[in-house]
Amino acid sequence: MLTGTGIWSHASPDKIRERYVFVQQLINGLTVGAIYALLALGYSMVYGVLGLINFAHGEIYMIGAYSGILYFHLLTAIGAAGWPPVSFLLLLFLGSAVTAVGYAVFLEQVAYRPLRSARSLSPLISAIGASVFLQNYVMLTQGSADLVFPTLFPNEPLSWTTVPISGVQAMMMFTSFSLMLALHLFVTKTRLGKGIRAVAQDKTMAALCGIDVNRLIMLTFAIGAILAAGAGVMVGMYNGTVHFSIGFMVGLKAFAAAVLGGIGSLPGAMVGGILLGLVESLGSAYLVSEFKDGFAFCLLILVLIVKPTGLFGDATQRS
Amino acid sequence: MLHMARLFVLFAFLLGMVSDAYAAGEILIGLAGPMTGDQSKLGGDIERGARLAIEEWNAKGGVLKKKIRLLVGDDQHDPKQAVSVANKMVNQGIIGMVGHFNSSASIPASSVYHRAGIPMITPASTNPKLTDQGFKNVFRVCGRDDQQGRVAADFAAKKLRVKKVAILHDKTTYGQGLADEFKKNLSRYASSGISVVYEGGLTQGERDFRGILIAVKAKAPELLYFGGIFPEGGLLARQAKEVGLTAPMMSGDGVIDPKFIEIAGAAAEGTYLTFTPDPEVLPQAKRFLTQYKAKHGNELAPYAIYAYDATNVLLTAIAGARQTKGDAVVGALRNLKYDGASGHIEFDQKGDVKESPYIVWITKGGKFETFWTPTP
């Protein structure tokens, strides 16, 4: 794998190994970054329509991961293990997405809608409360020990490529970028997408034009939940274990990614997430490994000092 | 009138709280460890071990003609929580403490018990600092990480004969402490060409270690040593194979748990672990194991036997002192000679056991097996 053509030729073995390691770190960063991007989109969209930071979004991701394990065993029990992996995976994603959407919509109805006309601090506190509640709910119902996510994809580097990418990483990147593309098309090309953009611009005006604002806000939460569930299932597979606390740190980092890209901006969320993943991966590999979680926030602070609205904050503000 | 009645009820309630131990004529023994969270199995194991000992004593009539009751505290392997649990236990009037489990919890909690003059015996905290503080009331029935680190280093140098070693730890008191002891002992073999090619920390609770593992792999080590606990250990073993790190992994007593094999899957194979000898082969452990398994099934619970011994040692000392005063019990513990299920227990000046035979285990066929015994 180390020899051959392309980027690996014309160099000494040490140089080749160095480059190989660098590319491997780059791919890790991209994989994790794509996950941050999916979650950051959820933060950014909800912020776009409501001006609310949905701190319980990380917990929707965690519930997505737990649902993944649940549906995996359910599907295996009905004999789906023999089906083609693609359809198995699609059903797994679908099941988790439906579950996560259920929780997210419920959350919107119970925790956020009654506070919609309240001052902005109240929904924020409600969001933090919802986050703590969901964590403890999952701890009580699923137990506090790590649950092992069954292996579905080969985790070894794929042998037919010259770049060190594993099966699960390839699947994750493909799925993440497909989801992002689908979201982009949905928001820019469809009537419902147009409606969401209208609500983001001006709720009152949108309502006057005959748009059902409540329904579109619910839809926004649902879309965020679908992306979060996909991220949760993929990370569950990738890392191997799931725990009720996994949503917290990832949620914080995804929020940082959304702010980094300019909160409310969808391209910003994508770029912010990927940038964060890369910085974290390369930073912990080449600078200090102990400081891995710190890089995300250092980057955030740096960008906010230079450009307080985030990278894409001005031109394309709000969805 | 109503007001008075209320006041009376309140007072009765408060009194009830304070004197609940004395009124019932019970001896309260505390036990603390991670009862919830990712390490809850470890906490549960020591609780089950201690309960078995207490049931046996109570069946024989208790100690000092009083029944023994176990108070269980959850420190969530968090140093802050450990101190608050310790204060609560002391206020509730415990006579002695079995615990805590993690070194990072035991060390801060030990000063609370020290101030209260209550004997504390940990079944699992192996960080040397715990008994090096000079607290007269602190004991342990397990080994020390400097002993464990030495055995691991001897094994790497003499048996595996590796030259390049990478060291990772989880930045906790236990994990980093063990990794440091390993490194310190490894440096004794520097003349034979052993060197540490990578050293780094990871965060407990983190789940993606590929970044650091790739960096480790780039240094091409022949052995990866990890100081930490099984949730991270299992993922490290699993992800090391994924990134193509073929060097075997070695770790300590924090990783020897069935959950490690469950998490790591096939990647657990060939992992070396330092731990005490298998109780299954110890004749004196037979009675304990039969009873424990009859109650809790066959699942391996490596620390239950230490909690069982710690509880027995504590109760024996109370019986020997013929009183529950902390100083007297501590004095009795210092002179105690006890043949426990895990071996002979006798404390040295610091409160460590005089004999602590660490050996090396290996993961093979989804099970832990004893592998190598150091020659003294």
Q: Note whether B238 and B267 are within 8 A (CB).
A: yes
CB contact under 8 A, B211 and A281: yes
| Residue A161, pLDDT score | 67
Q: State the amino acid at position B2 in one-letter form.
A: L
pLDDT, tens digit, for every residue of B80-130?
999 999 999 999 999 999 989 999 999 999 999 999 999 999 999 999 999
CATH ID of B146-275+358-372, from 3.40.228.10, 3.40.50.2300, 3.40.30.10, 3.30.110.40: 3.40.50.2300
pLDDT of residue A316 exceeding 70, the answer is no
Least confident stretch, B5-14, B34-43, B66-75: B5-14
pLDDT bracket for residue B228 (50, 70, 90): very high
What is B2-143+283-345's CATH number?
3.40.50.2300
For A:207-246, CB contacts with B below 8 A are: 235, 238-241, 243, 245-246
pLDDT bracket for residue A314 (50, 70, 90): low
Angstrom distances, CA of residue B346 to CA of A51, B100, B269, B291, B340: 66, 20, 36, 25, 10
What's the count of helices (H) and strands (E) in chain B, helices before strands? 14, 14
Choose, out of B214, B238, B260, the residue to mutate when testing the contact with A (most A CBs < 10 Å): B214
pLDDT, tens digit, for every residue of B267-304?
999 999 999 888 888 889 999 999 999 999 887 788 99
| Residue B41, pLDDT score | 85
Q: Minimal Cα–Cα distance from A141 to chain B, Å?
A: 13
Q: Report percent pLDDT > 90 for chain B.
A: 74
What's the DSSP call for residue B142? S
Q: Note whether A117 and A203 are within 8 A (CB).
A: no
Alpha-carbon distance of A98 to A100, in angstroms, equals 6
- DSSP for B121-141? EESS---THHHHT--TTEEES
Angstrom distances, CA of residue B138 to CA of B172, B246, B306: 21, 42, 15
Kindly list the residues from chain B whose CB atom is less than 8 angstroms away from the CB atom of residue A163.
none
Alpha-carbon distance of B169 to A166, in angstroms, equals 26
Nearest to B214 among A146, A285, A293 (CB): A285
pLDDT of residue A126 exceeding 90, the answer is yes
Least confident stretch, B16-20, B23-27, B208-212: B16-20
Q: What's the average model confidence in pLDDT over A238-243?
A: 91
- Is residue B239 within 8 angstroms of chain A, CB to CB? yes
- Is residue A314 within 8 angstroms of chain B, CB to CB? no
Q: Note whether B324 and B356 are within 8 A (CB).
A: no
| Residue A319, pLDDT score | 43
CB contact under 8 A, B205 and A245: yes
Q: Which residues of B29-51 are buried (b: 16+ CB within 10 A; e: fewer)?
A: bbbbbbbbbbbbbbbbbbbbbbb
Q: What is the mean pLDDT of chain A?
A: 88
Alpha-carbon distance of B27 to B41, in angstroms, equals 26
CB contact under 8 A, A285 and B215: yes
pLDDT, tens digit, for every residue of B202-211?
988 889 998 8
Looking at chain B, the domain(s) classified CATH 3.40.50.2300 span: 2-143+283-345, 146-275+358-372
Rg, chain B, Cα only: 22
Alpha-carbon distance of A220 to A183, in angstroms, equals 11
Kindly list the residues from chain A whose CB atom is less than 8 angstroms away from the CB atom of residue B215.
21, 25, 285-286, 289
Alpha helices for A112-212 (secondary structure H): 121-142, 167-189, 191-201, 203-208
- Is residue A43 within 8 angstroms of chain B, CB to CB? no
ipTM comes to 0.84
Q: What's the average model confidence in pLDDT over A257-267?
A: 91
Angstrom distances, CA of residue B205 to CA of A60, A135, A203, B129: 19, 15, 41, 24
Q: What is the mean pLDDT of chain B?
A: 90
